[in-house]
Chain A
Amino acid sequence: DGGITQSPKYLFRKEGQNVTLSCEQNLNHDAMYWYRQDPGQGLRLIYYSQIVNDFQKGDIAEGYSVSREKKESFPLTVTSAQKNPTAFYLCASSRELADNEQFFGPGTRLTVL
């Protein structure tokens, strides 16, 4: 079955450590996205990528970094510079940037202790 996988589902890290969240899709989609979800805040865009080796900052990119070395993979690194990293992180993809129908992964809940 085609879809988006995110791993792990739950992640715990100590304050000051960098952590990388995985996102893989087998939908052959060109565009991929990372969102952060906080209770009562909806979803906010962190980064998005239109094609391999290209990515753009979203609304809340500070303290995060991404890479897009392969079409199917778009990992997100939460760095120690992110002041409040505890949140639910959602990865999404779409056929192309102009195709607004985004498909979401199941999410990773990151807790920084």
Chain B
Amino acid sequence: GQQLNQSPQSMFIQEGEDVSMNCTSSSIFNTWLWYKQDPGEGPVLLIALYKAGELTSNGRLTAQFGITRKDSFLNISASIPSDVGIYFCAGAPGNTPLVFGKGTRLSVIA
């Protein structure tokens, strides 16, 4: 089945640093979504991308839909302690359920 490769698997950064993570796929997606999940909770939608090349921001978060439609990245600027969590990318190949990456675990050192 379809798989998403998400990297890095984990990151340790200092508070105030910028963060970048990405997802790649072997197949084309029509939609890319980025979620954040805290321990014991469900994923919370951060950003949704619907068009190749689209660049969308949500506060300190910026995500882009790759022009090949096979990749996406998420940037977090000026990280703060509450950014700690697991970030998941998810892709929708079409009118079918989402495919998720394995997540990037972010730790922020104050």
Do they bind each other? no
Chain B interface residues (CB < 8 Å from chain A): none
